[in-house]
Every structure is written in C-alpha cells, then in structure tokens.
Structure 1
Amino acid sequence: MQQSTRTRRQNLRDRARTTRAAARINRRGEASLATHGIAQGLRPAEARSMAGTLRKEAAALWIDGSEHRVHVRRQMRTTHRYTPAQVALIAVMYRPRKPAYKTAAARLALAA
C-alpha cells in the first residue's frame, strides 16, 4: 500500500472518530472527558492523557460529573460523565504545554 493511501485512510479514520464522538455528545448531552477530547480532534491515547489532567482540575474546582456504572473487562466500574458546560469550565483552568492539547483546550472552552 502506498504511503499516500495510508495517510488518506488515517485522516478518514480520525475524522470519522471525531464526528462520532461529537454526535454522541450532542445526542446524550454528556460524555467522559476522554470523549470530549476525541470530539475536539485528539487521538484516543492523547485524549486519555489529557483527560487525566482535566480530572485533577475538575477535582480542584469541585466539579463532579454524573456517575454511571459501566462494564469493563468483566467488572463494573463507576465512571463520570460531564456536560459541555462543565468541561468548558474545567478547560479554562487547564494549562497544557503540548500544542495539540492547547488547541483542544481552547476548543473545549468554546464548545459550551
């Protein structure tokens, strides 16, 4: 497979992932912090990394998302989902260093 084809497929996958995440947030009204990051164009690994820091900021601001129980590897886990308004408030306090995280944080702050 040629490199240009690989690049095009990767771009298409990234766009589809971003669109699906944004549609899910619009449909449900809330999502995990990682899903909010994916909806702003981050890849899943980057979104999980950013979500960890956003979780710390949320705890400092006393922002608790709504609790939900989900199945993860044959176990039940408690997760937290946040509305776009809550994520925007958290993103204002978030001070990233990586350029990709800076653009995602700016988009998250404007998403509400």
Structure 2
Amino acid sequence: MTSARTRRADLLRTRARANRAASAERRATARAARRVRAGARSLTTHVIALGVSRETVKGVAKALQGVAKKERSNGLKGKRARIRRTARGFKRHAVTVYRYTRAQVAQIAAQYKPRKPEYKAVRAALIAA
C-alpha cells in the first residue's frame, strides 16, 4: 500500500505532465496561426492553426491534399518548394511540397466534401478564414 505522500506526488506529477502537453498544443496552434497570417504555408499548417485535435488534423490534411492535387490541374497552383525529407534519421531525400495562401485554402476547402461532422466544421472554418 502506498502512502498518502506518494499518491499526492504521483497526482502532482501526472497533472504537471498533462499541463505541459496542453501548453505545448496551445503553443503549436498559436505558432501555426501566426505563420498562416504571414504567408503561404502547407495545408497541414492551415488546419493546425484552427486548433483541432491531432487525429482530425491528419485526416483533414490528407483529404485536402488529395483535393489540391486535383485542383492543380484546374489552375489552382500553390507555391512550390523543395525540402529535404529525412527517412529514419538519415538519407535526406529532396521532396517537392506546395504551400498555399488563405484564399487558396478556402478554394480547396470549397471543393472538399467531408462526411464526418468534425471534418465539416473544419471545412467551414477554412472557408470562412
């Protein structure tokens, strides 16, 4: 049986860990929102700036990337950039990525037809921004 002091220390440690995680997520959201206001960013950054959960960010971002790929052939072109992507800590491969302004993301989101209610809310926020 553990003592009251040990249980209290465990509680405080768990609470501190949860607070740090929540604070890190708030900072990431604020940083993404600031970057989106500054210029063209990736679709994932635009979704992170809305402050939604990680799972929702992944799902919406991948869906928007698919829509953006289709829209590229219709004349909606993001700003191309070359980055060096690391695979398992080494072998830095050059990859082409696209960065979009808020107006371009709103056009892409207008073509996106989600089914999940939380994805629909993200779509509405992207169009409104």
Alignment TM-score > 0.5, same fold = yes
Pick from 79, 94, 105: which aligns with 1:66?
79
Correspondence for 2:101: 83
TM-aligned CA deviation for residue 64 of structure 1: 1.9
Pick from 24, 30, 33: which aligns with 2:40?
30
Structure 2's unaligned 5+ residue stretches are 1-9, 87-91
Q: Secondary structure of 2:60's partner? A: helix
The runs of 4+ residues in structure 1 deviating greater than 6 Å are: none
- The amino acid across from 1:66 in the alignment is K
Question: Which protein is bigger by CA-based radius of gyration?
Answer: 2
The change in CA–CA distance for 1:76 and 1:49 in structure 2 (over 3 A counts) is same
Aligned length: 110
Correspondence for 2:63: 53
TM-aligned CA deviation for residue 25 of structure 1: 1.5
% identity of equivalent residues: 38
CA RMSD after TM alignment:
2.0
TM-aligned CA deviation for residue 58 of structure 1: 2.0
TM-aligned CA deviation for residue 48 of structure 1: 3.1
Q: Secondary structure of 2:61's partner? A: helix
Structure 1's unaligned 5+ residue stretches are none
The change in CA–CA distance for 1:8 and 1:96 in structure 2 (over 3 A counts) is farther
What TM-score do the two structures reach when normalised by structure 2?
0.73
Q: Does 1:106 align with 2:124?
A: yes
The question of whether the paired residues in 2 share the 8 Å contact of 1:18 and 1:41 is answered with yes
Greater mean alpha carbon deviation, residues 94-103 or residues 13-22: 94-103
Distance in 2 separating the partners of 1:10 and 1:102 = 26
Distance in 1 separating the partners of 2:114 and 2:16 = 33
Pick from 2, 16, 19: which aligns with 2:30?
19
Distance in 2 separating the partners of 1:85 and 1:34 = 15
- The amino acid across from 2:28 in the alignment is R
